[in-house]
Amino acid sequence: MQIGFLGAGKMAEAILSAMVNAEMVQPWEVTACDKSEARRNLLASTYEVVVTDDPLLTVKESKVLVLAVKPQDLDALLDQVAPALKTTHLVISIAAGKTLKVLRLHLGPKPRLVRVMPNLALMAGEGMSVYCPDGKIKASDAALVERIFGAAGAAIRLEEKHFDAVTALSGSGPAYVAFFLKAMIDAGIALGLPKEEARLMGEQTLIGTGIYLQQSGRDLDEFIQAVCSPKGTTEAGMKVLNKSTLPKTIAKTLEATAKRSAELA
Ligand SMILES: NC(=O)c1ccc[n+]([C@@H]2O[C@H](COP(=O)([O-])OP(=O)(O)OC[C@H]3O[C@@H](n4cnc5c(N)ncnc54)[C@H](OP(=O)(O)O)[C@@H]3O)[C@@H](O)[C@H]2O)c1
């Protein structure tokens, strides 16, 4: 598959790395385009892919194009590459807040188009990506998008009307999870635990619980209940949590994120 990354920063590298690990591409099939010489050198030396600072060359060399520049850099880049795009191109945008309508406006009618909202956990091969194709997409394109983003975690399809909520829950979610994790670690340290060990304990508890809950599919309330033995330690803690306004604060956090996402779009 001839694939080009327009913008070869953190997210592009995470996608590329997952594809390479899954043996979905050979290095010579990949063109990574970035303004930054440091990024180009890093990707060339790490993955042995073709690197360039020329977006038009990238378009010429690729059938699949991943738009991975920051949203504020995207419009100018799209206007630059649009005249070179053909019906044979599949364009995948991961830019936060850029709607299919806006993307199509810049890209013109020719390329097939998919919008994806990934998250930072892509970098650990455990990302959550939600994609939404433009009307013109082929079934094989959807399957390809699922393969690319599925190589670095989970990938599901949802209608674009959900994208502000997707941004709130999984797009920005890693920051909120890290916030909760930090509070857990700080509380452990306050109870006398050494810093490094407290961090490992917090991280491992988060990872293990997430994996277990996903694999078992257990009902979350039933799981919490099961962990709380009567008059036990977890029950004592859950009493505090249940009386707190934490669920409301989390709801407000996601509402604010979704609102901002809608404003940016
Ligand atoms: N990070 C996240 O958690 C996350 C989550 C979901 C979606 N996204 C989306 O993913 C996209 C990429 O984010 P990122 O964190 O990977 O950004 P990043 O690390 O800043 O990478 C973007 C790269 O593109 C380069 N660039 C800018 N304009 C260019 C142009 N015209 N031609 C070629 N290269 C250009 C930048 O170079 P300079 O630095 O020199 O400008 C930079 O190296 C964004 O649209 C973001 O909304 C990110």
Residues 188 and 135 in one domain: no
**CATH label of the domain that carries residue 84:** 3.40.50.720
Question: pTM of this prediction?
Answer: 0.93
Please say if the pLDDT value at position 230 is more than 80: yes
Q: How far is the CA of 55 from the centre of ligand 1 (A)?
A: 14
Instruction: Provide mean pLDDT across the span 92-100.
Output: 93
Residues 96 and 205 in one domain: no
Residues 48 and 143 in one domain: yes
Secondary element (H or E) of residue 127: strand 127-133
Domain that residue 120 falls in: 3-165
Mean pLDDT (the chain, rounded): 95
Please say if the pLDDT value at position 136 is more than 80: no
Q: Give the position, in ligand 1's atom list, of the atom nearest the Cα of 93.
A: 45
Q: Hey, which of 35, 91, 123 would you mutate to test ligand 1's pocket, going by the most ligand atoms within 8 Å of its Cβ? A: 35
| pLDDT tier, 97 (very low <50, low <70, confident <90, very high otherwise) | confident
How many domains does the chain fold into? 2
Residues 122 and 155 in one domain: yes
Please say if the pLDDT value at position 175 is more than 80: yes
Residues 210 and 142 in one domain: no
Instruction: Provide mean pLDDT across the span 209-233.
Output: 96
Residue ending a domain, choose from 109, 139, 165:
165
Residues 55 and 104 in one domain: yes
Q: Hey, which of 33, 73, 98 would you mutate to test ligand 1's pocket, going by the most ligand atoms within 8 Å of its Cβ? A: 73
Residue ending a domain, choose from 133, 165, 197:
165
- Ligand 1 pocket: which residues have CB below 6 Å? 6-7, 9-12, 33-36, 39, 55, 68-71, 73, 77, 94-96, 118-120, 171
Residues 222 and 109 in one domain: no
